Amino acid sequence: MKSKLNLASALIVLLGSTAIYAFAADNELLGEAAPPTAATRTVVIDHDTQYVNVTGGDIVKFVVHNKEYVWNFDGADTNNFVDLNKIFPNDGLHHEVKVYIARNPLYTGA
């Protein structure tokens, strides 16, 4: 009986760590949070903002409802856009805002 419990416990831990890894890997594809001092530009998001254009490698400070969020768009070069709701805390945005990401010219030879 003990071996079945140990096996079940190990399986639960393995599945839980796989889910955490999948979430972390997904966020890595989008980039990563950055300190405010690293931002190279600032974008104010209001209720009329539907989209923002950035270039891969940009570090952008977003100002939303007097709160600041800084994101480094250094993720995978395969992302064409990201919904800001995926990278902001749950209370960050109250509507959908797409960020369209142009390829970083350093890596495309442009």
pLDDT tens, position by position, 50-76:
999 999 999 999 999 888 999 999 876
Q: Name 43's bridge partners.
A: 62
Q: How confident is the model at residue 5 (pLDDT cuts 50, 70, 90)?
A: very low
Domains of the chain, first to last: 31-108 (2.60.40.2280)
Does the pTM surpass 0.85? The reply is: no
CA angle 64–65–67, rounded 5-degree value: 65
pLDDT tens, position by position, 15-63:
443 333 333 345 556 789 999 999 999 999 999 999 999 999 999 999 9
Q: Using CA atoms, how far apart are residues 7 and 42, in angstroms rounded to an integer? A: 51
32, 28, 50, 52: which is closest to 42 by C-alpha? Answer: 52
